[in-house]
Amino acid sequence: MEIHGNVNEKLSEPGILKSVPSNSDLKVDCCFKRDSSQYLDLSNTFHEKTRDFANQFSHIYGTRLNLMREEIEKKARIKWGTDIQICRLAQLPDAGGARCIVIGTLFKQQELKPSILKEISEEFHLIPQPKRTNFVSDSDKLILEDELQRITLLSPLDINQVVTGIVCAVLGHEDKSGKFNVEDYCWAGVINDGPLNSSVPPISDRFIVFVSGLDLANNASLLNIQLLVDWLTGFLGDPQDQSKVAKCVRLVIAGNSFQSGLEQKKDAKVAKTASIDNSSDIKSVADFFDDILFQLLQFLDIDLMAGEFDPTNHILPQRPLHYCMFPKASNFENLNGVSNPYSCNIDGRIVTGSSGQPIDDIYRYSNLSDPIEVLKKTLEWGHLAPTAPDTLLCYPFIDKDPFIMTSCPDIYFAGNQEMFQTKLVDYDNGNGDIHKVRLISVPSFHRTSTCAVVNLTTLDCYPISFTVTSQ
């Protein structure tokens, strides 16, 4: 995979495309070879070979608690010492109101949360209910439950900063009313017996590019997408730009490539030259997407994730988009259809993330609205999708919870967000082991014409925009 350019002898000067033409007839044929990378897919846990939807969804909560209990007990002992007893909820009466630690799963009792039973009981009232995007209210209550019982929490923890499904340890005592007065709390964090991450970054600069929300069915102008393709393939920019692009070893397409919502485009706003005549025609969208992938795959490796509105299964984990939709692109071995969520190791860096559904669902059931803050909290909670299966659809697992974070990522991303944001944070597992994690909010390309670029060596991250101004 090579990027070629034909430039004059002033090759080292910046802004060569804007420079005065040289009088010399000397030409230099330059060639930038695309860097290679070591890749390992870590997403096996998200691939379920047999699916039985007759299972109850309650099993996943019991499995989640059992798998995270040992880790959160360690964190609780580190934080509060070994003198305080750890009790099950059934043992609280025997504690006699004494100070103790209780471990369980948080449940938010929310009056505004959608309920099919409520909808059935109110369907004949004929009173239209306003559409909501957030279901937080002042009447919300926080409950802790384990395998057998549950108890209401009187907690200093801000109820609007948490969601249902988080495994938590609380320090306090049971009062005479049967409620648990919380003094302090502790999260499980990433479950890992060894060091958080012993990865060794590459010596020379190498980059990963993240893009999401191409929304080919509703994109009124496809010029910004073609500019992205030309930049990635080395046909855009001067030799300095091409030399940097040659260091991009992988492109991650984080979902919603076909469509980013249920709304339909208006013909009046669609360019007449657009290749897609009807946003409901999945076949034409797939053909156009196949052409885009065909151009890109000749130059770099691609990880293709599904999104909420892409043609694959809707529940998490989402399976890869089927290769039959991409007859030309599927001929390339470097097309890698992956699950959503997705995790991999690229040149010693662990990359983990989703197409955005877990983050968006947390927005709806809390007052959290900053994607970087939500990513940081899910890292502290040690879970990629805590609201599944309560309000986020997922497969009814019995003996595992694939969304539990078992290794600390170097790069942690969420696709299809409103805008680009990023932050380098220090993750502490509680025993002094600090690991730096690059959090990335990958914006919807349809809305922002922006992708995110990450340096695998330094974890530096910056956006690149391909905005096209209409005259």
Digit-coded pLDDT (tens) for 130-187: 678 899 999 999 999 998 899 999 988 899 999 999 999 999 999 989 999 999 999 9
The predicted model gives 425-450 an average pLDDT of 90
pLDDT at 269: 39
Between residues 221 and 380, the one the model is more confident about? 380
Start-end ranges of CATH 3.60.21.50 in the chain? Answer: 39-50+194-260+279-465
Give the pLDDT band (50/70/90) at residue 48.
confident
The single-letter code of the amino acid at 447 is R
CB 237 within 8 A of CB 384: no
Instruction: Give the C-alpha separation, 202 to 384, whole Å.
Output: 27
Instruction: Give the C-alpha separation, 287 to 313, whole Å.
Output: 20
Q: Answer yes or no: is pLDDT of 5 > 60.
A: no
Helix, coil or strand: residue 327? coil
Q: What is the pTM of this model?
A: 0.88
Q: Pull the structure tokens for residue 147.
A: 């395998």
Q: Answer yes or no: is pLDDT of 13 > 50.
A: no
Task: Kindly give the interhelix angle for 282-297 and 223-232, rounded to the nearest 10 degrees.
Answer: 30
Instruction: Give the C-alpha separation, 216 to 279, whole Å.
Output: 8
Q: Pull the structure tokens for residue 159.
A: 């109820």
230-276 pLDDT per residue, tens: 999 998 888 888 888 999 999 999 999 998 876 544 443 333 334 34
- Fold type of domain 39-50+194-260+279-465: Purple Acid Phosphatase; chain A, domain 2 (3.60.21)
Between residues 414 and 205, the one the model is more confident about? 414
pLDDT at 35: 81
Per the rule left: phi > 0, alpha: psi between -120 and 50, beta: everything else, 408 is beta
Per the rule left: phi > 0, alpha: psi between -120 and 50, beta: everything else, 91 is alpha
CB 363 within 8 A of CB 418: no
Helix, coil or strand: residue 179? coil
> What percent of the chain lies above the pLDDT cut of 70?
83
pLDDT at 277: 42
**3-state helix vs strand vs coil in the chain, percent to 5:** 25, 30, 50
Instruction: Give the C-alpha separation, 147 to 369, whole Å.
Output: 32
Q: Answer yes or no: is pLDDT of 125 > 60.
A: no
From start to end of 224-348, where are the E strands? Answer: 248-254, 301-305, 335-337, 342-346
pLDDT at 222: 84
Helix, coil or strand: residue 449? coil
Q: Which of 58, 63, 68, 92 is nearest to 169 (CA)?
A: 68
The predicted model gives 453-457 an average pLDDT of 96
Q: Answer yes or no: is pLDDT of 413 > 70.
A: yes
Q: Answer yes or no: is pLDDT of 293 > 80.
A: yes
Q: Pull the structure tokens for residue 133.
A: 């995007």
Measure the CA angle with vertex 70, ends 65 and 73; round to 5°: 100
201-210 pLDDT per residue, tens: 777 899 999 9
Q: Which of 424, 458, 470 is nearest to 205 (CA)?
A: 458
**What residues contact residue 124 under an 8 Å CB cut-off, 6+ apart?**
none
CA dihedral 463, 464, 466, 471 (to 10 degrees): 70
Query: What is the DSSP-derived secondary structure letter of residue 294?
Result: H
The predicted model gives 41-48 an average pLDDT of 91
371-407 pLDDT per residue, tens: 999 999 999 999 999 999 999 999 999 889 999 999 9
> What percent of the chain lies above the pLDDT cut of 90?
65
Q: Answer yes or no: is pLDDT of 10 > 60.
A: no
The predicted model gives 223-227 an average pLDDT of 92
pLDDT at 33: 81
The predicted model gives 112-118 an average pLDDT of 75
Q: Answer yes or no: is pLDDT of 351 > 90.
A: yes
By residue count, the chain amounts to 471
- Fold type of domain 57-187: OB fold (Dihydrolipoamide Acetyltransferase, E2P) (2.40.50)
pLDDT at 260: 82
The predicted model gives 22-33 an average pLDDT of 61
Start-end ranges of CATH 2.40.50.430 in the chain? Answer: 57-187
Residue given tokens 């970087």 in the structure block: 372
Give the pLDDT band (50/70/90) at residue 95.
confident
Between residues 52 and 10, the one the model is more confident about? 52
The predicted model gives 55-79 an average pLDDT of 92
The single-letter code of the amino acid at 307 is G
Q: Which long-range contacts (CB under 8 A, 24 or more apart) does 460-469 make?
A: 461/422, 461/424, 463/420, 464/231, 466/224, 466/225, 466/227, 466/228, 466/231, 467/224, 468/221, 468/223, 468/224, 468/227
In which element (H, E) is residue 262 found? none
**What is the DSSP annotation of 189-244?**
----SS-S------SS--EEEEEB---TTT-S--HHHHHHHHHHTT-SS-HHHHHH
Instruction: Give the C-alpha separation, 22 to 221, whole Å.
Output: 36
The whole-chain average pLDDT of the chain stands at: 86
Measure the CA angle with vertex 256, ends 3 and 352; round to 5°: 75
Instruction: Give the C-alpha separation, 205 to 63, whole Å.
Output: 41
CB 444 within 8 A of CB 455: no
Task: Kindly give the interhelix angle for 371-381 and 357-364, rounded to the nearest 10 degrees.
Answer: 100
Q: Which of 223, 335, 205, 208 is nearest to 274 (CA)?
A: 223
